[in-house]
Amino acid sequence: MKKTGFIGYGSMGSMLINGFLKSGVLEAEETAISNRTMTKIENLVPEWKGITITTDNRIVARESDLLFVCVRPLDVLHVLDEIKDDLTSSTHLVSIAGCVTISDIESRFPGQVTKVIPSITSEVREGIALVCHNSKVTKDRMEYLEKLLGAISRVVHVRENDFEVAADFTSCAPGMIAAIFDCFVQAGLKHSEIKSDVAQRLVISTLLGTAKLMTEKGIGFSELIRRVATKGGITEEGVKVLNNHLPSAFDEVFFKTLSKHEIVKEMIKSQRIMVL
Residue 116: per-residue pLDDT: 98
| pLDDT (tens place) for every residue of the chain, 276 residues total | 789 999 999 999 999 999 999 999 999 999 999 999 999 999 999 999 999 999 999 999 999 999 999 999 999 999 999 999 999 999 999 999 989 999 999 999 999 999 999 999 999 999 999 999 999 999 999 999 999 999 999 999 999 999 999 999 999 999 999 999 999 999 999 999 999 999 999 999 999 999 999 999 999 999 999 999 999 999 999 999 999 999 999 999 999 999 999 999 999 988 876 655
**pLDDT tens digit string along 36-70?**
999 999 999 999 999 999 999 999 999 999 999 99
Q: Per residue, what are the HEC states of the chain?
A: CCEEEEECCCHHHHHHHHHHHHHCCCCHHHEEEECCCHHHCCCHHHHCCCCEEECCHHHHHHHEEEEEECCCHHHHHHHHHHHHHHCCCCCEEEECCCCCCHHHHHCCCCCEEEEEECCHHHHHCCEEEEEEECCCCCHHHHHHHHHHHHCCEEEEECCHHHHHHHHHHCCCHHHHHHHHHHHHHHHHHCCCCCCHHHHHHHHHHHHHHHHHHHHHHCCCHHHHHHHHCCCCCHHHHHHHHHHHHHHHHHHHHHHHHHHHHHHHHHHHHHHHHHHC
CATH of domain 3-160: 3.40.50.720
Residue 2: per-residue pLDDT: 87
**pLDDT tens digit string along 113-125?**
999 999 999 999 9
Each domain of the chain, given as residue ranges in start order, spans 3-160, 173-266
